[in-house]
Amino acid sequence: MIAITVSLLVAYSFPRTWGAWEKNMAPILISNTSSSLSPSRSFKIERDRFVINGRPIILKAGCMHYSRVPRAYWNDRLMRIRAMGLNTVSTYVPWNFHEKSEGSYNFGGQKDLKEFIRLAQENSLLVILRPGPYICAEWDFGGLPGWLVKEGATALRTDAEPFISHAMRWWRTILALVRPQLYSNGGPIVMVQVENEYGFYGNVQENPSDRRYMQKLISTAKEILGYQIVLFTTDFGYEKFLKRGSFPGGSIYTVGDTCKKPGVTFRAQHGMNERGKSPNMCSEIYTGWMTRWGEDSTMHV
């Protein structure tokens, strides 16, 4: 199995029955608005495949930053994503976009994440949500609020005060906000990412504080979202980074990104996940790369 990518992020397992699945996809994605748990609505991993309501599924996803696109254009952009043949949109949720000052959250207007998710569903798109707390260089300070430093948080992205108290408050707030829009609750969210490429920064194998930080994020996500959602981590697609940034076994689905050597990435991924619980997934593939100051040309991947 291989991955197809468009734009920044995609993730996927490839069934042989894609044609039949695509034909019936719209009624699966468009749901009633009931927030009660529906046994008939499920998204899970079985036999190394993603499975939606009992059917194997390919997730063909593109990444869109709602925080960068004016709200008036959200629907237009989502329509274009669907018209491209994609069935999923992924999006980061920048913490500092919604909590500019400590304890004061804003999820209205341009920052109305729930409306963006609703529009995705209206356009027959599933959603992969990436709420941090850290979301990498795609956003200033990785989405961490600048006031953290003012509050004395010099140790970031680890189980140290005051960072961990602020991070867990954000984590609980954002997860509780989106819970009604999980797929099992009638919404389009099928996967939620925990942290972002943590193996580049921390080391859960060797640093107890890093391990506790990631374990707290995972356990809190399960507490708030339940067990009907697929939680996952993403790290650079080599074994050493996956081991530094995630946990072997069944506590969370571990995937790689970049995938310049897909076979290497997928073997490393299978080594981390439970048997039968590791569909091949590449969480980020880039169509281009940053041009650094002083470089003469744009780099294409």
Express each pLDDT in 137-151 by its tens digit. Answer: 889 999 999 999 988
Residue pair 158/210 in contact (Cβ under 8 Å)? The answer is: yes
Under a CB-based contact definition with an 8 Å cutoff, are residues 120 and 130 in contact?
no
Average pLDDT over residues 281-289: 85
How far is the C-alpha of 174 from the C-alpha of 12, rounded, in Å?
25
Q: How confident is the model at residue 300 (pLDDT cuts 50, 70, 90)?
A: low
Average pLDDT of span 282-289: 84
Residue 260 confidence class, pLDDT cut points 50, 70, 90: confident
Most confident of the ranges 39-43, 67-71, 135-139 = 67-71
Residue 16's CB: how many other CB atoms inside 10 A?
8
Q: How many CB atoms lie within 10 A of CB 290?
A: 9
233: exposed, middle or buried (Cβ count in 10 Å: 0-12, 13-18, 19+): buried
pLDDT at 263 over 90: yes
Q: Is the dihedral of CA 241, 246, 248, 253 positive or negative?
A: negative
Q: Which two tokens stand for residue 242?
A: 């996956």
For residue 232, the number of C-alpha atoms closer than 13 Å in the C-beta half-sphere is 27
- C-alpha angle 170-183-129 in degrees, rounded to nearest 5: 40
Q: Hey, what are 27's tokens?
A: 């009624």
Can you give the length of the chain in residues? 301
User: Most distant CA pair in the chain: distance in Å?
Assistant: 56
**Predicted confidence (pLDDT) at residue 102 exceeds the cutoff of 70:** yes
CA–CA separation, 272 and 288 (whole Å): 29
Question: What is the spatial distance between Cα 98 and Cα 116, in angstroms, rounded to a whole number?
Answer: 14
Q: How far apart, in whole angstroms, are the C-alpha atoms of residue 119 and residue 265?
A: 33
Q: For the ranges 106-115, 191-200, 258-267, which has the lowest average pLDDT?
A: 258-267
Is the pLDDT assigned to residue 271 strictly greater than 70? yes
Is the separation of the CB atoms in 74 and 116 below 8 Å? yes
Task: Name the phi and psi angles at 148, rounded to 5.
Answer: -60, -40
Q: Is the pLDDT of residue 288 over 80?
A: no
Given the residues 99, 138, 195, 197, select the one marked as catalytic: 197
Specify whether 197 is catalytic.
Answer: yes
Q: Is it the case that residue 1 has pLDDT exceeding 60?
A: no
Residue-level pLDDT at 203:
98
- For the residues 22-42, what does the mean pLDDT come to? 53
* Dist. CA 98–CA 173, nearest whole Å: 11
Residue 58 has pLDDT above 70, yes or no: yes
Q: Which residue in 196, 102, 117 sits closest to 153, CA to CA? A: 102
Least confident of 102-106, 225-229, 287-291: 287-291
Average pLDDT over residues 160-183: 98
Q: What single-letter amino acid sits at 289?
A: W
- pLDDT band at residue 155 using 50, 70 and 90 as cut-offs: very high
pLDDT at 34 over 50: no
Position 36 pLDDT exceeds 80? no
Q: What is the pLDDT of residue 289?
A: 73
CB 199 within 8 A of CB 135: no
Is residue 255's pLDDT more than 80? yes
- Kindly state the average pLDDT of the residues 242-251: 97
Q: What is the pLDDT of residue 12?
A: 47
* Of 250, 232, 162, the residue nearest 194 (C-alpha): 232
| Cβ 132 vs Cβ 197: under 8 Å | no
Q: Indicate the pTM of the whole model.
A: 0.89
What is the model's pLDDT at position 42? 97
| From 99, 138, 195, 284, active-site residue | 284
| Mean per-residue pLDDT, 5-20 | 42
- Taking the C-alpha atoms of residue 182 and residue 185, their distance in angstroms, rounded to an integer, is 5
Query: What mean pLDDT is reported for the chain?
Result: 88
Helices of type H across the chain: 18-23, 25-29, 74-83, 95-98, 113-122, 147-150, 163-178, 208-225, 239-245, 262-272
